[in-house]
Amino acid sequence: MGSHPILDKISQRMHKLENDGLLRQRKLSKADKNQHIIDFSHNDYLGLANAAEMVDAVTQGATIYGVGSKASPLVSGYSQAHLQLEQRLCELTGHEAGLLFCSGFSANQALIKTLFDANDVVIADKLIHASVIDGVKDSGAVFRRYKHNDLDHAEQLLKRNPNSVLMTESVFSMDGDTAPLFELKRLCEQYNSWLVVDDAHGFGVPQTPKDNSQQHKPEQDKSQQFSSQQNNSQQNSFQQTHSQQKKRLCDIQVVTFGKALGCQGAAILGPKAVIDFMVAQSRQYIYSTALSPVSAYLALTAVNLTQSQPHRLEALNANIGAFRQACIKHNIAITDSTTAIQPVIIGDSDKTLLIASKLYDAGFAVGAIRPPTVPAGQARLRITINAQHNKNDIAQLVDVLAALI
């Protein structure tokens, strides 16, 4: 290819990224095949990606449906596998309807670009995912951000912009902390706004939402608050059967299958009117080949395994506790996260890369996260715990990490 201004721009940008220590490149994963590497970098929190039941489901799904959708959902790509997965997701979450996509990024983009325009206001947590940020900007909607998990700031924006939409993640992908969903739902109801939750890192690995109502008192009538008794009795609303009739904590929920479910794909869950509108109007849905029926069949298997094999979640939670206790013992500074995502903030990008490289040489794969994914000066090791780790794996990782920091 000859000289061209775009190539010149690419060369200059790549050179700057490399000099700044921010150049991103693919690496061929060897952790699965290398018995000497213990992987603390992926999002397969429950260990379902390699489960025997999942491997069998691939063959079963392919035998029943074939391996490809062959068309968009509105032509002939919508199969019984897709319908059954949507129905099961709605049964577990209490939503009226669902719509499947090939990734969480495409699901968020489709949702936002289809529903919102210049007449709408979208309020989002400062640490919301890039797919939401890009989607809102592309939609033309007015975009307002509140300080991370800051209820007072969120309420200020809702008060100025009633009848709007508030978006948050349930579990934040780089920090591992959780959104105050009870309080956000109250505020949204108070200001007649929708709450949309990106549940990518929360679905399948439920935590009981915390109720911090005593710490935050909305300006308006407290009679709109739920009673503390109701809050204490309500367990995780994202992993419940519809027959329990427990109040959902969001109006629209985006779930992905590539984290705790160990496979691929995503779904938007919400009111039937919203889903019907998206089927009719979403360009991302209309003009894309449907999610493979094998992927849908596999995701349904994974969803059912989260219900029938609670020991996976129990093992995950035990391992999270073991990691945190070991870090405290070795005086390693950790965050308040109680989820599978356990960041260790290093600060400097080059140092973060160096420590991650030395950990790999010692037999441990961890994520090295740098700006712009995280704010400048907050480069970190993103350590993810899963149900298949054992106490010895965790103890060895922390021993080596303590020596490197």
Give the catalytic positions in this structure: 43, 129, 169, 173, 198, 201, 259
Token code pair at residue 363: 């037999």
Residues 6+ apart with CB under 8 A from 137: 143
Residues 6+ apart with CB under 8 A from 42: 31, 384, 386
Whole-number Cα distances in Å, 123 to 127, 135, 157, 165, 319: 12, 13, 7, 6, 35
Looking at 262-381, list the stretches that DSSP marks H as alpha helix, in order from N- to C-terminal side.
272-281, 283-286, 293-308, 311-329, 349-361
SS3 10: helix
- Using DSSP bridges, classify how beta strands 165-169 and 142-146 pair: parallel, antiparallel or unpaired: unpaired
How far is it, in rounded angstroms, from Cα 134 to Cα 110? 11
How far is it, in rounded angstroms, from Cα 94 to Cα 243? 8
Q: Whose CA is closest to 43, among 264, 333, 297? A: 264
SS3 110: helix
Token code pair at residue 264: 């691929």
Q: How many CB atoms lie within 10 A of CB 355?
A: 21
